[in-house]
Amino acid sequence: MLRFIDLFAGIGGIRLGFESIGAKCVFSSEFDEDACKTYEANFGEHPAGDITKIDAHNIPDFDILLGGFPCQAFSIIGKKDGFANETCGTLFFDIERILKVKRPRAFMLENVKNLVAHDGGRTFSIIKKHLENLGYHVYAQVLNALDYGVPQKRERIIIVGFLDNILFRFPDPIPLRERKKLEDILEKNVSEKYYVKPEIREARLKKNKHKDYPKPYISHENMAGSVTPHPYSSALRAGASANYILVNDERRPTEREMLRIQGFPDDFKIVVSYGKMKKQCGNSVAVPVMKAVAHAMLEALMIYDKSIVDKEEEVA
């Protein structure tokens, strides 16, 4: 059985992806205490705290390091100060520190799409070089959650590495017929508390460029102030305003709907307030993307291991 550690664990979206291939989590770490509450309610363990204070030698042995390391330092929305950001950007070096000590077979890192373009590509080049200097064969590709079954346009760079010279292919998008549509994830009976005030709705509709867009839709107000409806959600954001995305320009999505937009199962427990759940979903990952990447990594490892066994048998 493959063992993994779940760094910058959030509410466990990456963990769910890798548990789907039968892998076992042997250590988790998360700085945000509210996220830890949600994580503990769903996985029965309270993650260790600040990763910068954890000695790598005290982490159990494992096969795969997983980490959706903080992306605010590289985000288009954020200040884009990258490695100059001492509190977020340089947390990558804690990943490097742990890889150097523990030498796992593989890793999977997730970050915002803009990491590739940040500082003219220099930031990503630094990250890739540091990983390769540790002896890893590194693959990277931007994947969109829309292509893997959830109604959310969420583009994220996935960085995969192997100590062995393993041939890896990122997972192909799933067929259109297998993808969940917006109507598949919306709740039927929604409390009035989620509905916006009439004046907010009217102001929103005035900005909507497509008045007769078919329902259901989710609209969001972009940085220019334009409101655009889509049959899917724009990327959930942790720090967005309360009415950043609205269903049919009428109401905010419920906690369960936000989790569904990220591909979390319906038995996932909600133990924090709406505002905290919104932040946690915005910081999380699209679970089906993680499942697809986990399966691709498992397949690559199994093919490589079989080739080694076959070679040994030939020699024998």
Nearest-CA neighbor of 14 among 95, 147, 127, 107? 107
Per-residue pLDDT band for 298 (boundaries 50, 70, 90) equals very high
- 4-33 pLDDT per residue, tens: 999 999 999 999 999 999 999 999 999 999
Give yes or no: residues 78 and 35 share one domain.
yes
- 190-227 pLDDT per residue, tens: 999 999 999 999 999 999 878 789 999 999 988 778 89
Segment 290-297 shows an average pLDDT of 98
Reading the block at residue 303, the tokens are: 């093919």
pTM score, whole prediction: 0.92
Give yes or no: residues 81 and 130 share one domain.
yes
71 labelled catalytic:
yes
DSSP 272-296: S-HHHHHHHHHHS--HHHHHHHHHH
pLDDT (0 to 100) of residue 81: 53
How far apart are the C-alpha atoms of 282 and 140, rounded to whole Å?
22
Classify residue 188 by burial, with Cβ atoms within 10 Å: 0-12, 13-18, 19+.
exposed
Give yes or no: residues 219 and 305 share one domain.
no
For residue 290, is pLDDT > 80? yes
Nearest-CA neighbor of 302 among 168, 174, 141? 168
Here the CATH number for the domain that contains residue 60 is 3.40.50.150
The DSSP output letter for 91 is: G
Instruction: Supply the range of the domain harboring residue 205.
Output: 188-253
Give yes or no: residues 159 and 71 share one domain.
yes
Question: Within a domain: residue 269?
Answer: no
Per-residue pLDDT band for 93 (boundaries 50, 70, 90) equals confident
Q: Which position among 25, 36, 71, 281 bears the catalytic label? A: 71
CA 175 to chain centre: 21
How far apart are the C-alpha atoms of 223 and 272, rounded to whole Å?
29
Residue 203 φ then ψ, to 5° = -65, -40
Split into its structural domains, the chain has a count of 2
Question: Within a domain: residue 153?
Answer: yes
Residues 6 or more apart from 221 whose CB is under 8 A from it?
A: 204, 207, 227, 243, 244
Give yes or no: residues 304 and 165 share one domain.
yes
Question: Within a domain: residue 259?
Answer: no
Least confident among 138-142, 164-168, 238-242, 265-269: 238-242
CA dihedral 102, 105, 109, 115 (to 10 degrees): 90
Give yes or no: residues 104 and 22 share one domain.
yes
- 107-149 pLDDT per residue, tens: 999 999 988 887 788 888 888 988 999 999 999 999 999 999 9
Give yes or no: residues 170 and 199 share one domain.
no
Mark which of 236, 253, 270 sits at the end of a domain: 253
Give yes or no: residues 151 and 245 share one domain.
no
Q: Cis peptide leading into 60, omega within 30 of 0?
A: no
Per-residue pLDDT band for 76 (boundaries 50, 70, 90) equals very low
Give yes or no: residues 78 and 222 share one domain.
no
Question: Within a domain: residue 230?
Answer: yes
Give yes or no: residues 49 and 127 share one domain.
yes
Query: Which position has the higher pLDDT, 309 or 267?
Result: 267
Per-residue pLDDT band for 90 (boundaries 50, 70, 90) equals low
E strands in 99-221:
106-112, 137-144, 152-153, 155-162, 218-221
Give yes or no: residues 30 and 72 share one domain.
yes
pLDDT (0 to 100) of residue 14: 98
